[in-house]
Chains A and B, each alone.
Chain A
Amino acid sequence: MCEEEILRLFPERIRGRWQEVAGQAEKLQEIRLRAGKPLTILVDGKEWFVDARGRIVDRQEAAARQESAELEEILKHLCQYSIYAFADEIRQGFLTVQGGHRVGLAGQALLNGEDRIVNMKYIRYLNIRISHQVRGAADPLIPLLYESGRVMSTLLISPPGGGKTTMLRDIIRQISNGTAYGRGINVSVVDERSEIAGSYLGIAQNDVGIRTDVLDGCPKVEGMMRLIRTMSPQALAVDELGGIEDLRALRMANGCGCKLLATIHGGSLEEVLHKNYMRCSIEEELFERYVVLDRGAGAWGIAGVYDREGKPCIKR
């Protein structure tokens, strides 16, 4: 992650203001832009503000306010002046930009008769989540993910911003390239939100390994079925499981002999298993490893590793 990549998120005219923020690229997690509200950034878990001259300050009163017109300009720039190309993403409330950074959007939702969001207007809130590829993030975890030279199906659990995607990306990279614990295998990734590989023009911007195939921008369920049929993966990776349909597709992939690598939002294993659709995962031994991540849990944020029955292998 370099300064240049952060600066490119903004139109040239206002890049000067973001120079100091871009200097924090390695630790920068979020840039929050809200119309009429102070410019806020999240650096290494701590909230800061940005003043009119682009300096990072800790006092809210000194912060510059975000203008609505400028916010629209930033949105257009993020969409490469091609808003139509991001219409589906805008409808879903986020878009992924070059480099794999995810931009959350909020404004006024336009609904159809069935209360489904068909579009969004007056987008006045942007949350730019900076994607970090941390090579080696999965190093402490890798020995626990292999059994007799074979990768085990793994579910990564953490609250939002806990580093799930970063960890998943590095696991994919390592098992695809091969490690000291097992040789490299073919991994297929359904990258629904372009966050794992950060594909641009179909090419992964992040290093996801030499034996990895990426299906970018495709819904998880359809993508998993398609990849199993077409790419014969030995492992299948997806980010952010969110419902019974995702679980069904995972079961089917598991039945095809694929190893699964997935992430889910949650504070602990218990919390995840309380979700209706996840209850059966232990009984069915869908996953052989459950890894709980928490930013406050020391090195690499690994709070606990559990086996297929939910018993701790490591607990901090």
Chain B
Amino acid sequence: MYKAIGIICILTGCVGWGNRKIAQERERIGHLRVMCRILERMQAEIGYGKHTLPEICLMLTEINNECYRKCFRRIYEAAAESGSGLPELWRSEFLAFFADQPIQEEEREVFAGLPDRLGFQEETGQAGSIGQAEAFLSRRAVLAEESCENRSKMIRSVSILTGLLLTIWLL
């Protein structure tokens, strides 16, 4: 009886681990898509509206993602209302937020390091510079989406196999 319960627990644990890995990958794709949408919106607001970055942060407090919305609210309040430096605020806010998120190092650097791409005297150049970051993240999202299905199948198989092997070994 105990052995049966143990087998079920081990198998459930391994399958759960596999599912968690798959969910993380999907979550990463979700983040990449949100980041791309944000950067696209920024390009549009810079290119057509010539809005300043704090103003754009205020606009982005209305995006359809609670976590990013809160980040932009905090950046806007600190930058526009108390006059703190936007590059430092942006970087620290997003690095802190991404710390718990399943986003790869390179991707978080590109987004959190966006202020490094500022300083252009003309809106087309500035929007283009942000467009490069958007293109990078978009490419990453497409690659992740393409490999997601296969990876999911593989992770699921590996997790079940690991569970079975562990069970056999422990028996």
Q: Which of B44-52, B61-69, B149-157, B160-168 participates in binding chain A?
A: B44-52
A83→B122 CA distance, assembly (Å): 7
A8 touches B83 (CB 8 A): yes
A90→B122 CA distance, assembly (Å): 11
Q: Give the distance to chain A from B50, nearest Cβ to Cβ, in Å.
A: 5
B121 touches A81 (CB 8 A): no
Q: Which of B82, B86, B122 contacts A81 (CB 8 A)?
A: B86
Total number of residue pairs linking A and B with CB closer than 8 Å: 62
The bracket for how many chain A residues form the interface is 20 to 34
Instruction: Name which residue of chain B comes closest to A88, CB basis.
Output: B50
Instruction: Name which residue of chain B comes closest to A72, CB basis.
Output: B119
B122 touches A84 (CB 8 A): yes
Instruction: Name which residue of chain B comes closest to A8, CB basis.
Output: B83
Name the A residues within 8 Å of B79 (CB-CB): 80
B85 touches A87 (CB 8 A): no
A77→B88 CA distance, assembly (Å): 12
A76 touches B119 (CB 8 A): yes
Name the B residues within 8 Å of A12 (CB-CB): 83-85, 88
A201→B56 CA distance, assembly (Å): 11
B82 touches A8 (CB 8 A): yes
Q: Which of A7, A77, A83 contacts B121 (CB 8 A)?
A: A83
Name the B residues within 8 Å of A299 (CB-CB): none
Name the A residues within 8 Å of B125 (CB-CB): 84
Q: Give the distance to chain B from A244, nearest Cβ to Cβ, in Å.
A: 30
**Counting CB contacts under 8 A, is A85 at the interface?**
yes
Taken residue by residue from 46 to 87, chain A's Cβ proximity to chain B (1 for < 8 Å, 0 otherwise) reads as 000000000000000000000000000000110111111101
A8→B86 CA distance, assembly (Å): 13
**Counting CB contacts under 8 A, is B32 at the interface?**
no
Q: Give the distance to chain A from B165, nearest Cβ to Cβ, in Å.
A: 55
A201→B52 CA distance, assembly (Å): 10
**Counting CB contacts under 8 A, is B18 at the interface?**
no
A311→B13 CA distance, assembly (Å): 97
**Counting CB contacts under 8 A, is A177 at the interface?**
no
Instruction: Name which residue of chain B comes closest to A82, CB basis.
Output: B52
23-72 of chain B: CB within 8 A of chain A: 46, 50-55, 58
**Counting CB contacts under 8 A, is B107 at the interface?**
no
Q: Which 7 pairs, one residue from A and one from B, show the smallest C-beta to C-beta distance?
A: A8-B83, A82-B52, A84-B123, A84-B126, A80-B52, A81-B86, A85-B52
Partner-B contacts on A (CB < 8 A): 7-9, 11-13, 76-77, 79-85, 87, 90, 98, 119, 201
| 8 contacting pairs across A/B (C-beta < 8 A) | A76-B119, A80-B52, A80-B53, A81-B87, A83-B126, A84-B46, A87-B121, A98-B83
Beyond known contacts A83-B121, A85-B123: 10 more, CB 8 A cutoff: A11-B85, A12-B84, A79-B52, A80-B79, A83-B118, A85-B46, A85-B52, A90-B121, A98-B83, A201-B55
